[in-house]
A and B are shown apart, each in its own frame.
Chain A
Amino acid sequence: MSWPSVIAARLRGLLLRGRLERELEDEVRFHLEMQIEDNRKAGMSPAGARYAALRSFGAIAPMKETHRERRAFAFIETVAQDIRYALRTLRKNPAFTIAAVATLAIAIGGNTAMFSVLNAVILQPLPFREPGQLVMLWTEIPGQAAREGRSAYRNIEQWRAQSSSFADIAVADPLSLTLTSPAAAEQISAVRISPNYFSLLGLQPALGRAFSEEEASRRERVALISHRFWQSRFAGSPEAIGASIELDGKPSRIIGILPAKYHFEPFTTDVWEPHTLFPDWEARQGVNGAETWFALGRLKPGVSIEQAQTEMTALARRLDEQAPPSARNRGISLMPLALHVTGPASRTALWMLAGAVFCVLLIAAANVASLSLARSVARGREMAIRVAIGASRTRIARQLLVESLTLGTIAGLLGLAVADAVIRVILALQPAGLVRLNDAALNPQALAWTFVLCLLTGVLVGLAPAITTSPRNPGMRAAGRIRRVLVVAEFAMAIVLLAGAGLFIRSLRAIHNVDPGFRPEHVLSVQLSAPSPRPELFNRILEQIAALPGVESAGIIGDLFIGGNPERVITTEGAATPHSGRLRFRADEISPGFFQTIGTPLRSGRFFNAGDNAAAPRVAIVNEAMARRLWPGLEAIGKRFKPGGEDSSAPWFTVVGVVGDMRRQNLENEPIPQMFEPLAQNPSRLVTLLVRTVLDNPAQMAGAIQSAVHDVEPRTPVYRITALENRVDAGLSQRRFQAALLIGFSAVALLLAAIGIYGLIQYSIVARTRELGIRLAVGAQAGEIFRLIIREGLLLSLTGLGIGLIGAIGATRLAAGLLYGVTSTDPLTFITVSLLLTAVAIAACYVPARRAMRLDPLVALRHE
């Protein structure tokens, strides 16, 4: 039994059965006491009077049982009767029924679908032990808006040793590995983790085991694999345990397989390896080593994240004082793992969409309530007859409620089909950033929610007709008033949704109009994984590709897009003395043709050329943001800087060029400082190859480019071949998803509101036909009648508009964080949607108004 029906049963038991049972007892007691009193008056002894009373009453328990059965039976019987009657009534009015059921089914379906998404992405706890205790720990740099920075291994070790809030802290660093099989080499995602990672999450391998502390410290090449990887590579064979796979050219032994339902948060990957396997492991342990690690902690039971944050802030201050000056100014910020997996913006957006679709349901319910109010007035005769033959007011009210609940239930059942379709569409849109979205399904929780919606809809729809119908007053006037209020409410909610949709469209357009600082059109993006970092290999590949017909130029960069908030210490040679400081910036290796290929302009100095090779002095190109940051107001060309502190052994770079800023995180973020060094001076193995073609769809060149690469070096996996525009666009997918849903919801809302006002105006004209006839007969012009009707419609829609605008200003402020390049009270948007709504309202009133204008006074006067 599901919980709603349990609650319903309990309620009925408590409210009805308990009361009726007590009443019967009172009645019986009263009866017996009266009888005893009368017997006493007749001269019996107290005991005799009591005995005689009980005897004449007969057996009490069986009587009560009969009474009880009758009650229960009657309840079921009348409800069954009501449902049968409701179905008959609905069948007799197919137009009403189809309109109502269709409207409600769409609304309930949309709500069920949205709930499934919300449930899968946000409401379901993460599939780990006590997920509420899991926390991400970040290094933050106050003042550089970098709250979620990765951390240095030694810092994490210090946190682990010196904090008392955490039961344990694990580290992880995701990377890309080349998997070599006899057939081919390909790139897979992996993550290197500390041995306590799985035990911290509370996860057991489904098969085999996790690696131990000793194995990690001996740097043994062992690996755990995902269920998916196990199925695709080993066809689910248990012999996978102990098998060897070649990762980055070295054999690794598989020791464990993760369970199928593990969602891999926070890292979606196929292979887990010990964190000690990085070739530069020794360097990574130093405090000035790479700050590349993710830290995942489990709070001790009873410790809140706020308490832990307080402790860590104090700890960060202590560590800061011990650190060398250049590495200072670092804080620690904590974030619940769930919030890291699905960020606050995505959450706000989902809740907002759920709220929007709920508004659609309310509008739909208001519409159907309005329809059934009109119908209940028309059913006045039927009600009068039923009252005359003895139906009580509650009986009729119940009948009407049962009717609307039946309507709601039918709509709910159809709504499930709608929900299924909507979920498919949402999954097909596949917006980025919504981890676990694929779990959205019509599961028992979603069905329970549908059931609640059915009840809610039924009550909302049936309430107004039920309360306005009384035996004496068929509720004509009250019904009219309620219908007006409903239409006003519909318009108010519609304008809120429209305003939201308008602001989202404006945001999307603002982002589209942002100059990314490069020209992605016609460019194909290809990931390459070379067997070894040899500059001459890349040169040969670039030459080969540049020679292809249809190719304008080709270039290479380590990684075009920037994830996370990289930051490190940098030392600059200023006007006088060297200066060290922490800077959030990004460094990449590029080939000479890179900027020409991607279309980023040179501001001063020069691009790299073939002369910038391994033998030549180290040179760098920086972007304008970096030049401004390091040498404000000075010419950057010729200046020198080096990564690390003043005592660092890293080489000095001489700036030879300044280029325009590129938005490489996503289009919405201001470009961060970026530096580029020649690929020939710091070769990398995993790179992004960019090819500028003459084609509108550069993906057509995928095959040619792949074979060109393999002609040069067959052991080079080529993957993620896609138009660069698609990659830029992918950053917008969640926004587009939100806007698409919101536009859809508000379009439905607007349509429903239009139907609502049309129905009301149409009905009021029919009800006022005689009045209009009289007006026409005493000389009113057709135009006046037309204006009268339009004025009535406008009054309603403008009232709704006014109320809705106030609500919209409040509602859009909640979503302000989701907007870009537009304020939450953008006047243009508000005016546009107001005009749109008013135009739709006038259009909806136009048809009935025209009809009223053409009334023949003679016919109208005779109208009943």
Chain B
Amino acid sequence: MKNEQPAKAGVLQGTLTLVVLRTLAALGPLHGYGIARRIEQISEDLLQLNQGTLYPALLRMEQEGWVDAKWGASDNNRKAKFYSITASGRRRLARETKDWRRMSSTIERFLTAGPRSFSDELA
């Protein structure tokens, strides 16, 4: 699937975990499709997710013990696998959020800093 639209960004490697954990922390147990829909809604369709990649990622999070998976019934009463965040998932989310914030604020500083103030800081 190569025809990505230039206006939409692919999900950055590593951020998918953060996004999924955040989604589950905010909304409680969700099935895979629900998580995908939620990500698209929040990002207003700007964050282009190759939805299939969600499943290996969910498996990894499950193996790490960050999410729990259970089979249950969906809204329209169909069998679906529901993922929920675990205690260790919450700790992971807190850490990743902190890391991400520090990272993005650092980048932000680079982007807002003018040449002078940059040299001021050096001085």
> Whole-angstrom distance between the alpha carbons of A35 and B36 in the complex?
10
> Whole-angstrom distance between the alpha carbons of A27 and B48 in the complex?
21
The reply to whether A390 and B53 contact each other, CB–CB distance below 8 Å, is no
Q: Does A167 contact B (CB under 8 A)?
A: no
Q: What is the chain A residue whose CB lies nearest that of B92? A: A390
The reply to whether B32 and A31 contact each other, CB–CB distance below 8 Å, is yes
User: For A26, what are the chain B residues with a Cβ–Cβ distance below 8 Å?
Assistant: 79, 81
Partner of B33, one of A34, A60, A391: A34
The reply to whether B87 and A59 contact each other, CB–CB distance below 8 Å, is no
* Total chain B interface residues with beta-carbon distance under 8 A: 25
User: For A568, what are the chain B residues with a Cβ–Cβ distance below 8 Å?
Assistant: none
Q: Does A382 contact B (CB under 8 A)?
A: no
Nearest CB of A to B61, in Å: 11
User: For B33, what are the chain A residues with a Cβ–Cβ distance below 8 Å?
Assistant: 30-31, 34-35
Q: Does B65 contact A (CB under 8 A)?
A: yes
> Whole-angstrom distance between the alpha carbons of A67 and B52 in the complex?
10
The reply to whether A58 and B81 contact each other, CB–CB distance below 8 Å, is no
The reply to whether A24 and B55 contact each other, CB–CB distance below 8 Å, is yes
Q: Does A57 contact B (CB under 8 A)?
A: yes
Nearest CB of A to B90, in Å: 10
Partner of B59, one of A28, A30, A56, A70: A70
The reply to whether B32 and A390 contact each other, CB–CB distance below 8 Å, is no
The reply to whether B56 and A70 contact each other, CB–CB distance below 8 Å, is yes
Nearest CB of B to A49, in Å: 14
Q: What is the chain A residue whose CB lies nearest that of B75? A: A34
Known: A30-B79, A70-B63. A63 touches B55 (CB 8 A): yes
The reply to whether B1 and A59 contact each other, CB–CB distance below 8 Å, is yes
Known: A55-B1, A390-B65. A30 touches B74 (CB 8 A): yes
User: For A66, what are the chain B residues with a Cβ–Cβ distance below 8 Å?
Assistant: 56
Q: Does B60 contact A (CB under 8 A)?
A: yes
The reply to whether A59 and B60 contact each other, CB–CB distance below 8 Å, is no
Nearest CB of B to A5, in Å: 25
Known: A30-B33, A70-B63. A390 touches B50 (CB 8 A): no
Partner of A63, one of B56, B65, B87: B56
Q: Does A392 contact B (CB under 8 A)?
A: yes
Q: Does B78 contact A (CB under 8 A)?
A: yes
Nearest CB of A to B38, in Å: 13
User: Using an 8 Å CB-CB cutoff, how does the interface string of A66-85 with B read, 1 for contact, 0 for none?
Assistant: 11001100100010000000
> Whole-angstrom distance between the alpha carbons of A57 and B65 in the complex?
25
Nearest CB of A to B37, in Å: 8
Q: Does A23 contact B (CB under 8 A)?
A: yes
The reply to whether B81 and A27 contact each other, CB–CB distance below 8 Å, is yes
Q: Does A145 contact B (CB under 8 A)?
A: no
Nearest CB of A to B43, in Å: 14
Nearest CB of A to B27, in Å: 16
> Whole-angstrom distance between the alpha carbons of A602 and B36 in the complex?
109
Q: Does B15 contact A (CB under 8 A)?
A: no
Q: Does A183 contact B (CB under 8 A)?
A: no
Q: Does B97 contact A (CB under 8 A)?
A: no
SS class of chain A's interface: helix, strand, loop or mixed? helix
Q: Does A389 contact B (CB under 8 A)?
A: yes
Nearest CB of A to B93, in Å: 13
> Whole-angstrom distance between the alpha carbons of A27 and B31 in the complex?
9
Partner of A31, one of B36, B63, B79, B86: B36
The reply to whether B59 and A67 contact each other, CB–CB distance below 8 Å, is yes
Nearest CB of B to A737, in Å: 55
Interface residues on A, range: 20 to 34
The reply to whether A74 and B87 contact each other, CB–CB distance below 8 Å, is no
User: For B60, what are the chain A residues with a Cβ–Cβ distance below 8 Å?
Assistant: 70
Nearest CB of B to A82, in Å: 14
User: Using an 8 Å CB-CB cutoff, how does the interface string of A385-411 with B read, 1 for contact, 0 for none?
Assistant: 000011110000000000000000000
User: For B56, what are the chain A residues with a Cβ–Cβ distance below 8 Å?
Assistant: 63, 66-67, 70
User: For B88, what are the chain A residues with a Cβ–Cβ distance below 8 Å?
Assistant: 389-390
> Whole-angstrom distance between the alpha carbons of A210 and B33 in the complex?
81
Q: What is the chain B residue whose CB lies nearest that of A60? A: B52
User: For B81, what are the chain A residues with a Cβ–Cβ distance below 8 Å?
Assistant: 23, 26-27, 30
> Whole-angstrom distance between the alpha carbons of A35 and B12 in the complex?
23
Q: Which B residues, 16 to 62, have Cβ-Cβ distances below 8 Å to chain A?
A: 31-33, 36-37, 50-53, 55-56, 59-60
> Whole-angstrom distance between the alpha carbons of A55 and B4 in the complex?
11
The reply to whether B63 and A59 contact each other, CB–CB distance below 8 Å, is no
User: For A34, what are the chain B residues with a Cβ–Cβ distance below 8 Å?
Assistant: 33, 74
Known: A27-B32, A30-B74, A74-B63. A67 touches B55 (CB 8 A): yes
Known: A55-B1, A389-B88, A390-B86. A27 touches B55 (CB 8 A): yes
> Whole-angstrom distance between the alpha carbons of A59 and B53 in the complex?
9
The reply to whether A392 and B65 contact each other, CB–CB distance below 8 Å, is yes
> Whole-angstrom distance between the alpha carbons of A274 and B31 in the complex?
86
User: For A31, what are the chain B residues with a Cβ–Cβ distance below 8 Å?
Assistant: 31-33, 36, 51
Nearest CB of A to B85, in Å: 12
Chain A CB count within 10 A is highest, among B56, B63, B71, B74, for B56
Nearest CB of A to B94, in Å: 14
User: For B36, what are the chain A residues with a Cβ–Cβ distance below 8 Å?
Assistant: 31
> Whole-angstrom distance between the alpha carbons of A26 and B1 in the complex?
23
User: For A59, what are the chain B residues with a Cβ–Cβ distance below 8 Å?
Assistant: 1, 52
Nearest CB of B to A33, in Å: 8
> Whole-angstrom distance between the alpha carbons of A31 and B83 in the complex?
14
User: For A390, what are the chain B residues with a Cβ–Cβ distance below 8 Å?
Assistant: 65, 86-88
Partner of B52, one of A57, A71, A391, A392: A57
Known: A31-B33, A70-B60, A71-B59. A58 touches B79 (CB 8 A): no
The reply to whether A58 and B65 contact each other, CB–CB distance below 8 Å, is no
User: Using an 8 Å CB-CB cutoff, how does the interface string of A1-42 with B read, 1 for contact, 0 for none?
Assistant: 000000000000000000000011011101100110010000
User: For A27, what are the chain B residues with a Cβ–Cβ distance below 8 Å?
Assistant: 31-32, 55, 80-81
> Whole-angstrom distance between the alpha carbons of A58 and B48 in the complex?
11
User: For B52, what are the chain A residues with a Cβ–Cβ distance below 8 Å?
Assistant: 28, 57-60, 63
Nearest CB of B to A43, in Å: 17
Partner of A391, one of B37, B51, B59, B65: B65
User: For A78, what are the chain B residues with a Cβ–Cβ distance below 8 Å?
Assistant: 63
Q: What is the chain B residue whose CB lies nearest that of A56? A: B51
Nearest CB of B to A617, in Å: 102
User: For A389, what are the chain B residues with a Cβ–Cβ distance below 8 Å?
Assistant: 88
> Whole-angstrom distance between the alpha carbons of A403 and B61 in the complex?
26
Nearest CB of B to A465, in Å: 22
Chain B CB count within 10 A is highest, among A24, A38, A63, A391, for A63
Partner of B51, one of A38, A57, A70: A57
Q: What is the chain A residue whose CB lies nearest that of B40? A: A56
> Whole-angstrom distance between the alpha carbons of A97 and B78 in the complex?
51
Known: A31-B33, A70-B56, A390-B87. A58 touches B80 (CB 8 A): no
Q: What is the chain B residue whose CB lies nearest that of A71? A: B59
> Whole-angstrom distance between the alpha carbons of A56 and B53 in the complex?
11
User: Using an 8 Å CB-CB cutoff, how does the interface string of B73-116 with A read, 1 for contact, 0 for none?
Assistant: 01000111100001110000000000000000000000000000
User: For A28, what are the chain B residues with a Cβ–Cβ distance below 8 Å?
Assistant: 52, 55
Q: Which A residues, 685 to 737, have Cβ-Cβ distances below 8 Å to chain B?
A: none
Q: What is the chain B residue whose CB lies nearest that of A392? A: B65
Q: What is the chain B residue whose CB lies nearest that of A38? A: B37
User: For B31, what are the chain A residues with a Cβ–Cβ distance below 8 Å?
Assistant: 27, 30-31
> Whole-angstrom distance between the alpha carbons of A30 and B31 in the complex?
9
User: For B37, what are the chain A residues with a Cβ–Cβ distance below 8 Å?
Assistant: 38
> Whole-angstrom distance between the alpha carbons of A367 and B8 in the complex?
65
12 pairs, A vs B, C-beta closer than 8 Å? A30-B81, A31-B31, A35-B51, A55-B1, A56-B50, A63-B55, A66-B56, A70-B59, A70-B63, A390-B86, A390-B87, A392-B65
Question: Which residues on A are within 8 Å of B, measured CB to CB?
Answer: 23-24, 26-28, 30-31, 34-35, 38, 55-60, 63, 66-67, 70-71, 74, 78, 389-392
Closest 4 CB pairs of A and B: A390-B88, A58-B50, A58-B52, A63-B52
Known: A24-B55, A67-B56, A70-B59. 20 other contacts (CB 8 A): A23-B71, A27-B32, A27-B55, A30-B79, A34-B74, A35-B51, A38-B37, A57-B51, A57-B52, A58-B53, A60-B52, A63-B56, A67-B59, A70-B56, A71-B59, A74-B63, A78-B63, A390-B88, A391-B65, A392-B65
